[in-house]
Amino acid sequence: MNHLARRTFLAGLGAGLAAVSVGRGPRRLEAADPILAGRPLVRYPEKADLILLTSRPPQLETPMRYFAQAITPNDAFFVRYHVFPVPTSIDVDTWRLRVTGRVDRPLELSMDDLRTKFSKAGLTAVCQCSGNSRGRFSPRVLGGQWGDGAMGNAAWAGARLRDILAAAGVRQGALQVTFDGLDKPGYPSVPDFVKSLDLTRVLEDPDVLVAYEMNGQPLPVLNGFPARLVVPGWYATYWVKNLAEVSVIDHVFEEFWMKPGYRIPDTACGCVPPGTTPARTVPIHRMTVRSFIVTPADGARVTAGRPTPVTGIAFDAGAGIGTVELSDNGGATWRRADLGPDLGRYSFREWNVAWTPARPGLHRLMVRAVNRFGESQGLEPLWNPAGYLRNVVEEVEVQAS
């Protein structure tokens, strides 16, 4: 975040986050955050008031306060579609999941089939947009200018994809599996949103699900009703919503949303020197380690000399969070946070520190997480041209008086 801009804004700001009405226009987000300040707050069907990124196709961001708890409520979960129109009317009695391609027995599974013919599996996992926090890249990059709320964590339940593929019988020579949802571009030359995964990735991982439950409820339409793919540890681009067809293929699928879309530099960090173009790219895959301070909110006022709970969440691609640390002196020293309940290695992990601001004035709090593989977050942001993989050490500024 741009500290100068934020400091200027802080001068005139009482609370960290609030919704305000400006005239007769839409409600807008009041925030210390230069990327999100002034964005419309909108209420879409089955959803709470969320931050509008785009209307068509719908893209909605979750306000940071919802991450005070490890589980993100269904109505607050972010929305990101790629093409328009999106499905707005779905009859679950006539909906079918087609399993096609290089299989012995092509399937047309009803919701009843999914629920009764396959054992129910579940796990809690973070779903995060590849471009989450893209608005914070410097130099800035084109694309959806998300703040940090294109992410959420839910308890998913459904059928294992590998059980479904076993029922269909994958043939020799199969290499990848493609996933297509009910969203179809209205303009014919726009590439349909279809994603692919390597067959080995799918067969080796029992946690890849066709999920029909989200936090114990049917999914909201805008989050993928009646079923979506869950690919724990990998970015949300693979979590195809309103899933309609799974197809086994004998080649590497390279249509637009796999290539050139959703690629990262083929380097160890997935990054290149700022402003440069990578020589080679690969499809984006595992999520980087991230952690956020949720309370106090950026720009909040606190009391000097009084213990203030500092809380937030951390997550990674599935090694699991090992430690979370907080610094109030620019990273010179770090204090270890207490971790909340372990909801599984793919989940948000809550953390907290009792922090006492020693003096009145502006304090900068920084958080970093280390996962069980020893992977962590850097003090300097990594850069790539598409604005993916962001995982710099995050911070908030609070005013003590």
| Closest to another protein by CB, 226 or 318 | 226
Write down the least CB distance from residue 81 to another protein, Å: 10
Which is closer to another protein, CB of 122 or CB of 218? 218
Smallest separation, CB 365 to another protein (Å): 28
Q: How far is the CB of 257 from another protein (least distance, A)?
A: 11
Please say which residue, 102 or 136, places its beta carbon nearer to another protein. 136
CB atoms within 10 A of CB 203: 16
* DSSP class of 141: -
Between CA 166 and CA 103 the distance in angstroms is 9
Tell the smallest beta-carbon distance from residue 85 to another protein (Å).
9
Minimum CB separation of residue 140 from another protein in Å reads: 4
Residues contributing to the site for another protein (CB under 8 A)? 25-26, 40, 42, 44-46, 52-58, 84, 86, 88-94, 140-142, 144-145, 185-191, 218, 221-222, 225-226, 256
Q: What is the closest distance, in whole angstroms, from the C-beta atom of residue 56 to another protein in the complex?
A: 4
Nearer to another protein, 53 or 396 (CB): 53
> Cβ distance 350 to 153 under 8 Å?
no
C-beta of 53 vs 197, nearer to another protein: 53
d(CA 197, CA 285): 10
Q: Which is nearer to another protein, 88 or 401 (CB)?
A: 88
Question: Least distance in Å: CB of 387 to another protein?
Answer: 10
For another protein, the closer CB: 73 or 218: 218
Minimum distance between the CB of residue 158 and another protein, rounded to whole angstroms? Answer: 17
Closest CA to 217 of 133, 263, 156: 156
Nearer to another protein, 318 or 385 (CB): 385
Is 278 strand, coil or helix? coil
Q: Are 249 and 180 in contact (CB under 8 A)?
A: no
CB neighbours of residue 324 within 10 Å: 25
Give the full edge-to-edge strand order of the sheet including 120-128: 120-128, 151-160, 209-214, 228-230
Whichever of 12 and 25 has its CB closer to another protein, that residue is 25
CB 352 within 8 A of CB 310: yes
Please give the span between the terminal C-alpha atoms of the chain, in angstroms, as a whole number: 24
Mind giving me the DSSP string for 68-87? Answer: GSSSPPGGGS-EE-SSSSPP
Q: Is 274 exposed, middle or buried (0-12, 13-18, 19+ CB in 10 A)?
A: middle
Smallest CA-to-CA distance from 367 within 311, 397, 327 is with 327
Report the nearest approach of another protein to the CB of residue 251 (Å): 21
CB-nearer residue toward another protein: 186 or 361: 186
The pairing of strands 59-61 and 49-54 is antiparallel
Bridge partners of residue 54, in order along the sequence: 59
Q: Identify which of residues 144 and 381 has a Cβ nearer to another protein in the complex.
A: 144
| 3-state SS class at 245 | strand
Token pair recorded at residue 202: 């799918």
Dihedral over alpha carbons 101, 157, 311, 288 (to 10 degrees): -20
Q: How many CB atoms lie within 10 A of CB 52?
A: 19
Q: Is the separation of the CB atoms in 385 and 274 below 8 Å?
A: no
